[in-house]
Structure 1
């Protein structure tokens, strides 16, 4: 098996020291194992991604002499593939439409919103309380056909766990009870990072993910 690693920055700012360190670790691992070092620009956040940031990242990698081995992948170019994957999961019953009305902007920044949500949910363990999770296919299809806005969420199993071997930390287990139904597509059908990163890693045949903790 040929080692294939990737450096996948978001072009929402300049290349900083932490990102450069991650790129270096990936580059060195690829060179040590005779593998491939790939570059993917994760520009799914269209509102914050800029050409200037992309240019800064590319110039920084060039200055560091961290040369990628294949053509650069821009994640936004794969949006149609990401949407198709979400719809496939929906058809297979592995995802569902969430018709929860979009909350109005509060004026808070993203970190403040996340902190408030964490405080509100403190002590709660039920990750499956979305009222649309068990909506019948007929009603879900009918509401979607009528033009009602919806997001698409991953339908995480109620029981069980994911088990995998981490090359650094060893055996890892993640209980499904502690995993929320992640949003895959926003109500405007824009794919989110949660979906895009997995689809692209599979398509690029990534064998190892090396990143900061």
Structure 2
């Protein structure tokens, strides 16, 4: 076991009320951190602006208090940290680990329908992944992570042990929406690596 301090977090999304599964996760993470002298953080995953509500956020705080689960520091709003998440996405673009994808929802759905009809994988393969910037249209785009296509990704998990994913089964996930807002995937991944 390493000497790395234990930091756990509970990251509910205020797109609805806290449910029993969320309460269980919060309790487990709180117990694990407190039992090891670590920190327990609360992060509100409010990057989905269409579905997040102030009422649901308030209910999360109420539920945490009712459950008796205190957290360290101030609760973090992912939405309030959006400028930093955009900075990270821009750095990924500059480093070549992300790319601009101009494919529309209609084009993506047409790709998936054709793949289903042919009995192929519906994992979207963007035609913009390796496109030269000079071919980019003046149109809305999302920023996608440039996931590896070969080999495997192994995650060392203290609970499950090594978890392996074949890279050809991973999606080039969207990390910035076309309106410039960060998705959960970018906001939570960047936060995890900087809080630990």
1:155 and 2:146 matched: yes
1:21 and 2:24 matched: yes
Per the alignment, residue 34 of structure 2 pairs with 31
1:129 to 121, 125, 129: 125
In structure 1, C-alpha distance between the alignment counterparts of 2:132 and 2:122, rounded to whole Å: 21
Per the alignment, residue 94 of structure 1 pairs with 97
In structure 2, C-alpha distance between the alignment counterparts of 1:181 and 1:201, rounded to whole Å: 20
What number of residue pairs does the alignment pair up?
189
Any runs of at least 4 consecutive aligned residues in structure 1 with deviations exceeding 6 A, and if so which?
none
2:54 to 51, 57, 70: 51
Specify the SS of the correspondent of 1:97: strand
Q: 1:128–1:158: 8 Å Cα contact kept in structure 2?
A: no
In structure 2, C-alpha distance between the alignment counterparts of 1:129 and 1:69, rounded to whole Å: 41
Specify the SS of the correspondent of 2:153: strand
Alignment of 1:111-130 (within 5 A): 120=116, 123-125=119-121, 127=123, 129-130=125-126
1:169/1:151 CA distance change after superposition, 3 Å: same
Per the alignment, residue 177 of structure 2 pairs with 186
Structure 1 unpaired stretches of 5+: 105-112, 206-213
1:60 to 63, 71, 77: 63
Specify the SS of the correspondent of 1:39: strand
In structure 2, C-alpha distance between the alignment counterparts of 1:126 and 1:7, rounded to whole Å: 32
CA RMSD of aligned residues (A): 2.2
Q: Report which structure shows greater RCO (CA 8 Å, sep ≥6).
A: 1
1:200 and 2:191 matched: yes
1:122/1:202 CA distance change after superposition, 3 Å: farther
